[in-house]
Amino acid sequence: MDAVARQLEDRVRDLLRVVRMVRQRHHALPPGLIGTLGLIDRAAANPAGTSGCHAKELATSAGLDPSTVSRAVAALVANGLVERRADPADGRASILVVTERGHAELADARDWYDRLLGRALADWSPEEVEALTRALGRLTTDVEGALGSTLEAAR
């Protein structure tokens, strides 16, 4: 591995450490739950115009183990942030829907993150923020692609 790649690896590790710190400092909810709540909310705003999502679809789209999603969903339901509703298309299944309280928690979390990023990026130009946003998006996509290739090769 060359020096530039090693520096990138170090910066990614630093970023992951900071992300863990941010997740631990925010909110009354455990770190993973607010993320899962956000995923359910985004899945509910789907192009098909249907409301809610299935836990299995959530696990697949998030790349998470179904048992992990199941535990997170159970905690969200217990906290009144998500409710399970009968799926009108399949009576055997249920869909997950963010409650009014869940939407309020998400709004609070988004406000907190907005304030944090506002302070952190106060000295950055809009062009720098835009460049970082593009670079992080590309890095995420490419790492996901590389992981997919690795997983396929391992099968």
Please write the tens of the pLDDT for every residue from 40-68.
998 876 555 557 888 888 888 878 888 98
In this prediction, residue 26 carries a pLDDT of 66
Report residue 90: phi and psi, to 5°. -150, 100
pLDDT of residue 13 exceeding 90: yes
In this prediction, residue 50 carries a pLDDT of 57
pLDDT in tens, 78-137: 999 999 998 888 878 889 999 999 999 999 988 988 999 999 999 999 999 999 999 999
Instruction: Report how far residue 33's alpha carbon sits from residue 64's, in angstroms, rounded to the nearest whole number.
Output: 13
CA distances from 54 to 9, 42, 93 (A): 36, 12, 8
In this prediction, residue 49 carries a pLDDT of 52
Quick one: average pLDDT of 1-29?
A: 85
What CATH number was assigned to the domain covering residues 3-122? 1.10.10.10
Quick one: average pLDDT of 9-31?
A: 83
**Domain spans of the chain, in order of start:** 3-122, 124-155
CB 77 within 8 A of CB 102: no
Q: Which amino acid is at 154?
A: A
Choose between 23 and 101: higher pLDDT: 101
CB 106 within 8 A of CB 37: yes
- Give the predicted TM-score (pTM) of the model: 0.75
Q: Which amino acid is at 6?
A: R
Q: Give the 3-state secondary structure of residue 88.
A: coil
